[in-house]
Structures are given as structure tokens and as C-alpha cells.
Amino acid sequence: MECGANHQVQSNHQNRRRRNHQQGAPESFGIASSNRARVDAALKTLPADAEGHAVDLASETAIAALFAGLGGFDHLVYTAGENLQLANLDKLDMDWARGFFGVRYWGAFAAVKHAAPHIRPGGSITLTSGLAATRPHAGWSVASSICGAMEGLTRALAVELAPIRVNIVSPGVVKSPLWDAMPVAEREALYAGMADKLLLRHVGEPHELAESYLYLMKQTYGTGQVIGVDGGGALV
């Protein structure tokens, strides 16, 4: 989860603020995930004024405390989710299936609930779905349900929270740590097979997805929209 927050920039970063503002980029930002060490590692790759928060996004109490402490900001981006797990119906445990909605769906829901009052005029919320909403495979019933629910939620929030813009990015396969639970050889075979099939002949890189989130923060006339970024995966 990332928050673009103008107010947190300190005075010795005024020049970068001005430059970023001219380029339409957020002037400063904060990130949150559940693991302090990973937050700290990510901060090392970000500008010095970026803020990092270790927050369990499965906990509404923790989410409420995070946003109460942040104050006003402009853009909320929600991408959190545990490593992907898939199961066919006959092997699927119902408690696990319900629980898998915890971070991806209910965490996003709670983040929007507690963030929205702090979002400044002109601000936006960008959520995350996935190609599985419309192109599921066997074993994807839970993941596909979450993606579909997220897209419906986005449209409902766009209506309820207007004029805050609420949109959602729907990625196809992207080379991110999401796939880390898969053995390396299996993962590389998956990427190679995908690259062969996709219209754009490569599996997505995180920076290619980041462009879509940035676009949805910067644009000013789209709300309730699903932006597919999948190498053409929806068409093959």
C-alpha cells in the first residue's frame, strides 16, 4: 500500500517537491506492509523523505490507527495480498477460502473506509484486481472471486466517494515476489510459457505496472474504471 502525501515533505526537500510537482508526480509518499524488515529494505530504494509503516492490513484497528496518524494526503494505492494460493474445489477448505479475502478484499475495504476522510480534494484511490476476474483457470475460484469483488467495489466506491476518483488496476502475470512460493524451475517455466502466449511476448515487470498506478493518480477525468495491464493476456 502506498500513500502520496504532500504534507509530509520537509523543508530541505523543497527543490525536489517543486520538480516533482511540475512533472505531475506525488511530492512525497509513504509505504506500508506487515514486515518491518521489508519496509526498511524498500525505503532504501526510495527518496529520503519517503515514510515506511509496518502495519498488518488484516487488522482494521491497525489500519484505522495508521490513517489517523497520517493526517491529510492525496492518493491511496492498495496492492497488498499474501502469496498466491490456488486450490480446486474438492481440495479447498472453506475457512481458508473465507480467510483469503482478509487482506486483498477486506483490507482494501477497511483502508478505503479509514483513508477516504483524509484524502484532499482532487485526490484518488487506486485498488488492485487481476486478469483472473475475467479469465480464470481451474483452481482459481477464490482468487477470481476476490478480483471480481474488487472491481464491483471500485465502481460502488467511485459513486459513493465522488469527487474522489476510485479506479482499479487489473494486472496479468507480473514478475513480483507474489510468485515466490512457487519452486524456481516451475516459476521460470510459467514465465516462459506465458511469454510465448502473450501478444506482447514478455511477462510484465513491476515498473510496467507502476506506470498504470501513476497514470490513475495523475489523470483527472476517469473514475470507476478497470485498467487492464496484461501484455494482451485478456485477448489470447
Ligand X SMILES: NC(=O)c1ccc[n+]([C@@H]2O[C@H](COP(=O)([O-])OP(=O)(O)OC[C@H]3O[C@@H](n4cnc5c(N)ncnc54)[C@H](OP(=O)(O)O)[C@@H]3O)[C@@H](O)[C@H]2O)c1
The residues binding ligand X (CB under 6 A) are 33-35, 38, 55-58, 79-82, 103-104, 128, 130, 171, 173-174, 176-178
Q: At its nearest, how many Å lie between ligand X and the CB of residue 80?
A: 4
Q: At its nearest, how many Å lie between ligand X and the CB of residue 227?
A: 12
Between 20 and 65, CB nearer to ligand X: 65
β pairing state of 51-54 and 73-77: unpaired
| Rounded distance between C-alpha atoms, residue 97 and residue 86, angstroms | 10
**Active-site position among 28, 124, 129, 144:** 129
Between 15 and 44, CB nearer to ligand X: 44
| Rounded distance between C-alpha atoms, residue 186 and residue 189, angstroms | 5
Between 5 and 103, CB nearer to ligand X: 103
β pairing state of 2-4 and 51-54: unpaired
Q: At its nearest, how many Å lie between ligand X and the CB of residue 206?
A: 7
| Rounded distance between C-alpha atoms, residue 11 and residue 22, angstroms | 17
Between 49 and 56, CB nearer to ligand X: 56
Q: At its nearest, how many Å lie between ligand X and the CB of residue 27?
A: 23
Note if 176 is an active site residue.
Answer: no
| Rounded distance between C-alpha atoms, residue 99 and residue 103, angstroms | 8
Between 13 and 135, CB nearer to ligand X: 135
Q: At its nearest, how many Å lie between ligand X and the CB of residue 111?
A: 10
**Residues tagged active-site:** 129
